[in-house]
Structure 1
Amino acid sequence: MANRDAVSRILPKVVVGGGEVKKKNGLADGRNRRALGDIGNLITGPAVGAKPQTKVSRPITRRSAAQFIAKGQEPVQKNTKPLVEATKGVAGRKVGVPAKAETIAVICPDEDVKITEEISLNERKVKKSGKTLTSILTARSKAACGLTNKPRIQIDDIDAADVNNHLAAVEYVEDLYKFYKLSEDENRPRDYMDSQPEVSARVRAVLVDWLIEVHKRFELRPESLYLTVNIIDRFLSEERVPRRELQLVCVSSMLIASKYEEIWAPEVEEFLTITVNAYARDQILLMEKAILGKLEWYLTVPTQYVFLVHYIKAAVPSDQEMENMTFFLAELGLMNYTTAISYCPSKLAASAVYAACITLHKSPRWTDTLKHHTGYSEDQLMECAKQLVSFHSGAAESKLKAVYMKFCCPDRGSVALFPAALQEMLI
């Protein structure tokens, strides 16, 4: 009886008579039966003629929420704790405020099952910041291996001021100095003291000291002085010369360098006057020819001066005081046989710049721009720079004072009078 009543409440009563189907609610067709009441399914609204049904409160899953949105309804959930919609392994999901500090309710995307997961405070911060566990572990691994991102090296454009100067050849500067660095060893003078019985390092220093005075008297270009010394050293590397002809070699070498570098080179008679007529005109011309033949007329070589002018521009800030100090130290190194022969021109020039920065208390004393353009680090220049500083320390007491007196003049900034850098500063 109870079952019958239940059935009668659910199924409509149909009266069959005279071949006509009649329904209790007056509907004409069996296809338009009243929809079943809510038996737990989520429907958009009550059926026509149905009594209001009590809604069942249950957790909103991603699947059911999608159904609501597709039907244009707002998913409503009552009497439930705040939930967090999250997916494991996916970063950037919006995280709600959990019910408790350490417990977060998570809805599984594939099942309508609510699970509880313990999430630490640090993990919640990671999710809020948008960082994934993978990115954190990668960063830690790089830091442990020393592969952290270093600040970008700043290289100054030292030729920017000469862009409109067509004589500066800004477009070719880098290629030119790459070629100079590659070719500087091809025509370097070798150690010739063992092959020259009448020439010593002291005798050579006296000759160069005298040439610096002659160079100053004739007011020649700096390029002429460095090329003159290069020609002398290269010739002595190939030919044995008696001591009585050493001054003749020096005069003829300066004549060649002047013809190569100067617009108005000194005449032969002027060099005869400098030597107090110690040689005849024909002797100077014959020695000039012998030197050019031994060197195969090859005079286009990168001397220390070629690198000095470029490296001084890379010393930021570069001022007249810095330039004078660099040339002072470079000429001291040029006069000394050990530094002139042992170190290639680019290294001697870079060491002069480095020693000048230390002497003038420049900070930083060796920048990324200098390292880039010179190709040398501080450690590579330390030994040569120490020797140049020692020459500076003893310049005032030395008997060979041509370089010292030259750079004591006010037009050279009197840089020779500056106190030399301490050896401890080079450590």
Structure 2
Amino acid sequence: MATEACENKPKNVADQGRNRRVLQDIGNLVDISKRITNQEAEKIKKPSFETTKVLAAGKIVQPEGPEVIIISSDEEDSEQVKETKKKKEPAKGLNSKQHSTKKNVKTLSAILSARSRAACGRTYKPKDHVHDVDAADVDNELAAVEYIDELYKYYKFAESESRVYDYMGSQPDVNAKMRAILVDWLIEVHRKFELMPETLHLTVNIVDRFLSLKVVSRKELQLVGISSMLIACKYEEIWAPEVNDFVCISDNSYKREQVLVMEKTILRKLEWYLTVPTPYVFLVRYIKASSPPDKEMENMVYFLAELSLVHYATVILYGPSVIAASAVYAARVTLGRSPFWTQTLEHYTGFSEDQLRECAKLMVSFHSLAGESKLKAVFKKFCNPERCSVALLPPAKCLLIENAR
């Protein structure tokens, strides 16, 4: 009876099936033997979860799996019905096969693309390799984690305003060698007064900016140095040395009044512009990005950075951020840290290894000559065991060889 009912259905039954009504009678079983094509005949050997199976004897056999009957109403969404079918019924028919094949092709394509890139050497590292150096300081209000990235973007933008270029041509009585002697002596004074590292970098910045704006005689050069350090101490230190301390340390070469007059002259010439990004500002950030940080690494970076302060060529050729990043790179090469430059460092510094190599070579050459140089303030300072004696370590040979070529 069920077969006859099926045969007596009108031709447009397929169209009506799209908008199915609530079934009144679900007891009718449909003979599906007539729907099986020649290509699908071989698949009947394996058990499947069809509603019914008709064998050669014509007997109806219940399937091994549970019978799934979907009843939908007018209010049910057709998309919801399709999703229910996908979850409860196994895929069958041509449309199901096409859907499954498309899914596999997608996965296979991704795998083949990845293998192709690897074979060509084009491997891409995920962004997860960039370590968040501020994660540990989230609860530290002084770290200003919410604003730190914007701050350093501004520092990089503003460093060009306070950067000095070749000014020795405008100084008839002063040369680069005299400047080096002055800076070496200021480093020694800085160590004796036990001042903050920020003070030293700001002092050298003030000296260079003032010399680039005003002609100074040879006799006044030391006066410019102690007056610049006095200004930097007032800006950075909690307890700044007194004017008489600087007069005494200069072997009474100048009077107290002379120091105060030079201090006013410098401030007027610089227009009181003292909030500048020095190399130290970037050094703190870049050392933090060179994880895992340790005392030896930190002292080696400061050693190379202070050596570069003494030499005029470094200051005029490279900006503060480049000097700081190059000091970190040269220190990692010197200490054999692997890799020499990481994704984290490139992310936070904004410089690649190739951009820093030339400046790093210059620093390593200063390191190789530090023990034999007459200007030994930096060398003696970092020979101290408290600073891990980093000045006594051999310089980076690989960078020295490249520099010799």
TM-score (normalised: structure 1): 0.71
Deviation at 1:149, TM superposition (A): 7.8
Structure 1 138/168 Cα, relative in aligned 2: closer, same or farther at 3 Å?
Answer: closer
Structure 2 residue runs of 5 or longer lacking an equivalent are 9-30, 42-47, 58-91
3-state SS of the aligned residue for 2:94?
Answer: coil
Change (3 A) 1:133 1:232: closer
Query: What is the identity, as a one-letter code, of the residue corresponding to 1:87?
Result: L
The C-alpha deviation readout for 1:147-182, integer Å capped at 9, x for no partner, is 988331222121223233222222221111111011
Query: Are residue 356 (structure 1) and residue 331 (structure 2) matched?
Result: yes
User: In the TM superposition, what is the alpha-carbon distance from 1:73 to its structure 2 partner?
Assistant: 3.7
Residue 414 in structure 1 maps to residue 389 in structure 2: yes
Which residue number in structure 2 is paired with residue 330 of structure 1?
305
For residues 77 and 192 of structure 1, do their structure 2 counterparts lie closer, same or farther at Cα, with a shift above 3 Å needed? farther
Query: Residue 266 of structure 1: CA displacement?
Result: 0.6
Q: CA deviation at 1:280?
A: 1.1
Would you say 1:264 and 2:239 are equivalent positions? Answer: yes
1:87 alignment partner in structure 2:
94
The code of the aligned residue for 2:322 comes to K
Percent identity, aligned pairs only? 56
Task: Say if 1:358 and 1:421, in contact at 8 Å, map to a contact too.
Answer: yes
Which residue of 2 is the match for residue 383 of structure 1? 358
- Out of 265, 268, 274, which is 1:290 matched to? 265
Displacement after TM superposition at 1:89 (Å): 10
What does the per-residue CA deviation read over 1:120-160, in whole Å, with 9 as the maximum and x for residues that have no partner? xxxxxxx5x95228963996599579898833122212122
Select 1:152's aligned residue among 95, 109, 126. Answer: 126
Deviations 1:74-120 (A, max 9, x none): 24368xxxxxx763895455xxxxxxxxxxxxxxxxxxxxxxxxxxx
Q: 1:194 to 1:423 in 2, by over 3 A?
A: farther
- Structure 1 residue 131 corresponds to structure 2 residue 104: yes
Q: Secondary structure at the residue paired with 1:150?
A: coil
Match of 1:60 among 36, 55, 59: 36
In the alignment, the residues of structure 2 paired with residue 177 and residue 426 of structure 1 have an alpha-carbon distance, to the nearest angstrom, of 34
Q: Which has the larger radius of gyration?
A: 1
SS in 2 for 1:184: helix
Q: Is the 8 A contact 2:117 2:123 kept in 1?
A: no
**Alpha-carbon deviations, 1:222-276, whole Å to 9, x = none?**
0000000000000011111111100000010000000000011111101110111
Task: Specify which structure has the bigger relative contact order, considering alpha-carbon pairs within 8 angstroms and separated by 6 or more residues.
Answer: 2
Q: Which residue of 1 aligns with 2:368?
A: 393
Q: Distance in 2 between matches of 1:137 and 1:187?
A: 50
Does 1:74 find its partner at 2:53? yes
Q: What's the TM-score once normalised by structure 2's chain length?
A: 0.75
Query: What SS class does the counterpart of residue 146 from structure 2 fall into?
Result: helix
Structure 2: which amino acid aligns with 1:305? Y
Q: CA deviation at 1:384?
A: 0.2
Question: Could you tell me which amino acid in structure 2 is paired with residue 132 of structure 1?
Answer: V
Task: Work out the number of aligned pairs and report it.
Answer: 335
Partner AA of 1:74 in structure 2: K
Structure-1 separation of matches of 2:243 and 2:199: 16
Q: Deviations over 1:334-375 (max 9, x none)?
A: 111011121000000000000000011001111111101000
Paired position in structure 2 for 1:245: 220
**Secondary structure class of the residue paired with 1:244:** coil
Distance 1:283 1:398 in 2: 32
Q: Which aligned pairs between 1:223-238 and structure 2 lie closer than 5 A?
A: 223-238=198-213
Q: How far apart are the structure 2 equivalents of 1:312 and 1:141?
A: 35
Aligned to 1:273: 248
Counterpart in 2 of 1:305?
280
> Are the counterparts in 1 of residues 210 and 269 from structure 2 also a CA contact under 8 Å?
yes
Do 1:190 and 1:234's aligned partners in 2 also have CA atoms closer than 8 Å?
no
Q: 1:279 to 1:134 in 2, by over 3 A?
A: closer
Q: 1:347 to 1:133 in 2, by over 3 A?
A: closer
Structure 1 letter corresponding to 2:232: A
Aligned-residue CA RMSD (Å): 3.5
Residues 185-224 of structure 1 aligned to structure 2 (within 5 Å):
185-224=160-199
Number of the residue aligned with 1:23: none
Equivalent pair of 1:232/1:250 in contact (CA under 8 Å) = yes
* Equivalence map 1:103-142=2 (5 Å): 127=101, 130-132=103-105, 136=109, 140=113
Distance 2:301 2:316 in 1: 19
1:228 counterpart SS class = helix
1:369 is matched with 344
In the other structure, the counterpart of 2:144 is 169
The whole-number CA distance in structure 2 between the counterparts of 1:313 and 1:144 is: 33
Cα distance in 2 for residues equivalent to 1:400 and 1:255 = 23
- Is the contact made by 1:382 and 1:426 (CA closer than 8 Å) also made in structure 2? no
Residue by residue over 1:10-50, the C-alpha shift from the partner in whole angstroms, topping out at 9 and shown as x without a partner, is: xxxxxxxxxxxxxxxxxxxxxxxxx9x99xx89xxxxxxxx
2:377 matched residue in structure 1:
402
Distance 2:183 2:254 in 1: 19
For residue 412 of structure 1, what is the amino acid of its counterpart?
R
Paired with 1:137 and 1:324, the residues of 2 have a C-alpha distance of 47
Amino acid at match of 1:273: C
Name the CA distance, whole Å, in 2 between partners of 1:87 and 1:148.
39
